Structure 1
Amino acid sequence: MLRVGLSGGIGSGKSTVAGRLAEHGAVVIDADKLAREVVEPGTEGLREIVAAFGDGVLDEHGALNRPALAATVFSDADARARLNAIVHPRVGARTGELIAAAPDDAVVVHDVPLLVENGYAPAYHLVLIAHADVEERVTRLVGRGLTEQDARNRIAAQADDEARRAVADVWLDNTGTPDLVLAAVDELWADRLVPYEANVRLRRYTPVPPKVVPYDDTWPAQAARIGARIALAAGGRTVEHIGSTSVPGLAAKDVLDFQLGVASLDEAANLVEALAQAGFPEYAPGPAQDEPRDGGDQSDWLKRLHVGADPKRRVNLHVRVQDGPGWRWSIRFRDWLRADAQARDEYAALKVEVAARHVGDAGAVAYSESKDPWMHAATRRIEAFFGRAF
């Protein structure tokens, strides 16, 4: 099962995106719809709302008068928090029931207006954000019967574009005509969501060739999103972005490397299933061997290696004993390259040259092995730089 979070500001066109995904076969769970269900007449949710805000939020039939309630909460943060405390737990419980009932091979799309505000992003394999310019959103909302001021108040009460971009794996611009965003959703479904679901379910990944590309300024933001997913799946353990993509300005393969800290390899083995379900299956069963950089015992450099299942975002996840030699070496190597421009330039030139000699995914191992002599020599330079051995 693939869990996809869908969000966007009011009037951004989330419903258009959700509808298209449903046409393709996604199981769409609409948080707004559930929020209405849990406060229908006769429910405990509605009784709590009346107790909190008074009979003035009911219409003549005893149902929730949504415009009256909205007028109260959208301009009052404390009132909005009281409402959320009543509605959100009930919506969460019902959402869990619907996800549990979905088929094992489903792409489950959770349409959540407050995904960003409530910090839900790390719980999904992928987050989609529908976007439209503010003035376009105001026009759409006025067309639905809101006053312009009410529309602007509702927009201002939600997360801004910067906060949404921080969690967005996919940014769907819906400012233009609907056919443009629908075409983008069609491509997303075929090229990413369907193969991603299969990879998660079958515990596999999509290989990438060892091609070195210029530094990408979006790598840190991508790493922050993915690192948060790994940390959540691993119960809050320490996650570090390492490798070439963690060094500003350094050319690199378009692969995000992380290391996850554990107390022992037994603890790492206990995390295999949780990481696989989160979209990071094990590369091969059992421990893997880091190349000892200090001439020490190979057993001190064991780890478990996982990879990302997302076909459009390759990830290597090294599960290492925290503060062990492999853990320390990776962090010091990263920090040395960040601080030493000459070393960084040397390493970039080496990577480009080696990648040119080892084309295709079959050359990935040879690519790494070809760098080993330089990496071993770098160990002595790193020790000298930090003034201590590993």
Structure 2
Amino acid sequence: MIRVGLTGGIGAGKSTVARTFTDRGAYLIDADVIAREVVAKGSDGLAALVEAFGDDILTGDGDLDRPALAAKAFVDEEQRTRLNAIVHPLVGARTWEMLQAAPADAVVVQDVPLLVEGSMAPFFHLVVIVHADEELRVHRLTELRGMDADDARARIRSQASVDQRREVADVWLDNSGTAEALADAAARLWDERLVPYEANVRSGTRAAAGPATLVAADPTWARQGRRLVHRLQAICGDKAVQVEHIGSTAVPGLDAKDVIDLQVTVADVDTIAALGVPLAEGGFPRVEGIDGDRPKPAVGSGDAPAADGPQSWVKALHAAADPGRPANVHVRVDGSPNARFAAAFRDRLIADPGLQAEYLSVKRSAATTADGVASTYVEAKEPWFDEVYPRVMTGDAPD
């Protein structure tokens, strides 16, 4: 299965997207529904709230009086913490129960209003943000829900900012038009990305690789890289020594293939193998037949790593199952020549415009030679990497 996090600010219209996904077969887990369920009349959660805040938070019928609870629970941070300590574990436990009950081939959509605020984004295969401008949202809240305009603005501004949402959004659905237009966009997303993504994860298949075509540098590559780094950190946990964005898309202003390359370094070769299943389940299946990088000539001594044979250049290559975001994950041993070179080469390109221009020329030539074939493109660059390796690792200036 895959887990899709769905969120958006109040009045943005995520309920339309949730309904569209559900109509097309999504397994929906609605955090708001769960939050009400765990404190329903007769529940252990409601009993815990009464014990903590008094029985005057109940209505005459024994249900939770939410305004009465809010008047007590939101007076200061201590009371808010007390409330959260009761409700959050119950919501988490119920969410886990529902996840465990989901079919093996499910696209699980978790509708979480505070997904961004709660720093939950890395724990999903994909995050979908529904957005509308503030004034449009105020209009909807006042006209459709009868809210006071000042209250609506205050609620909107208390939530995550647009920039915070963009930072975690794999998909940005604009809801400045009609509900029908939003539903159509959500349906296309479901058919063209979510369903194939789930099928790829379930079968352990990478998304189809695109051609080896250079495109103009995209200023959002850095943000996309950060998003994937955080996701990989969540997947790998303490098995990863470091996760970082490498390759051409990590170099501002450098034209490149539209593929985000990432490096995960681990303590040893056994850990490379141990990450195979977690990475595949997290959306990055292994690419078979690639067990290492091409060794480079040995350089110097001291801090410069010696290239002493293929065993020093071991790696596993994983690739994104998501058809909407090509990405490669290179899993290497921490401190190995290939791990050090990947990071040092990126840093040198950022710092050295001359080397950056040289590499761009090599890339353009390789792309022409490859005629769109990715493996040929990579192979065409290898002689230049052999030549540039000692220059990068010893700090020599380019010729």
Q: What does 1:152-167 correspond to in 2, within 5 Å?
A: 152-167=153-168
**TM-score normalised to structure 2 length:** 0.91
Q: Confirm or deny that 1:294 pairs with 2:297.
A: yes
Partner of 1:127: 127
Alpha-carbon separation, structure 1, partners of 2:368 and 2:169: 33
SS at match of 2:295: coil
Q: Which amino acid in 1 is paired with 2:367?
A: A
CA contact (8 A) 2:370 2:380 kept: no
Q: Confirm or deny that 1:229 pairs with 2:231.
A: yes
Q: What does 1:1-390 correspond to in 2, within 5 Å?
A: 1-70=1-70, 79-142=79-142, 143-205=144-206, 206-236=208-238, 237=240, 238-284=242-288, 288-295=291-298, 296=307, 297-360=309-372, 363-385=373-395
Alpha-carbon separation, structure 2, partners of 1:73 and 1:357: 66
Shift of 1:171: 0.8
Q: Which amino acid in 1 is paired with 2:127?
A: V
Shift of 1:73: 5.5
Cα 1:351–1:163 shift into 2, 3 Å: same
Deviation per residue, 1:61-118 (Å, 9 max, x gap): 1211224444666685554443333222111111111111111111000000111111
Q: Which amino acid in 1 is paired with 2:263?
A: Q
Alpha-carbon separation, structure 2, partners of 1:109 and 1:53: 33
Question: RMSD of aligned C-alpha atoms?
Answer: 1.9
Mean Cα deviation higher: 61-70 or 334-343: 61-70
Mean Cα deviation higher: 154-163 or 102-111: 154-163
Alpha-carbon separation, structure 2, partners of 1:353 and 1:241: 24
CA contact (8 A) 1:281 1:307 kept: yes
Mean Cα deviation higher: 169-178 or 42-51: 42-51
Shift of 1:289: 1.9
Cα 1:44–1:317 shift into 2, 3 Å: same
Shift of 1:386: 6.4
Alpha-carbon separation, structure 1, partners of 2:195 and 2:364: 33
Alpha-carbon separation, structure 1, partners of 2:213 and 2:324: 15
Q: Tell me, which stretches of 5 or more residues in structure 2 are unaligned? A: 299-306
Q: Which amino acid in 1 is paired with 2:292?
A: Q
Shift of 1:54: 3.6
Q: Which amino acid in 2 is paired with 1:168?
A: A
Alpha-carbon separation, structure 1, partners of 2:76 and 2:22: 35
CA contact (8 A) 2:369 2:380 kept: no
CA contact (8 A) 2:217 2:249 kept: yes
SS at match of 2:89: helix
Shift of 1:302: 1.0
Alpha-carbon separation, structure 2, partners of 1:198 and 1:107: 10
Q: Which amino acid in 2 is paired with 1:234?
A: C
CA contact (8 A) 1:265 1:304 kept: no
Q: Which amino acid in 1 is paired with 2:375?
A: V
Alpha-carbon separation, structure 2, partners of 1:5 and 1:320: 30
Shift of 1:19: 0.1
Alpha-carbon separation, structure 1, partners of 2:383 and 2:33: 60
Q: Tell me, which stretches of 5 or more residues in structure 1 are unaligned? A: none
**TM-score normalised to structure 1 length:** 0.93
Alpha-carbon separation, structure 1, partners of 2:72 and 2:156: 15
Cα 1:7–1:37 shift into 2, 3 Å: same
Alpha-carbon separation, structure 2, partners of 1:71 and 1:140: 26
Deviation per residue, 1:104-152 (Å, 9 max, x gap): 1110000001111111111110000111222222232233233333323
CA contact (8 A) 1:74 1:154 kept: no
SS at match of 1:141: helix
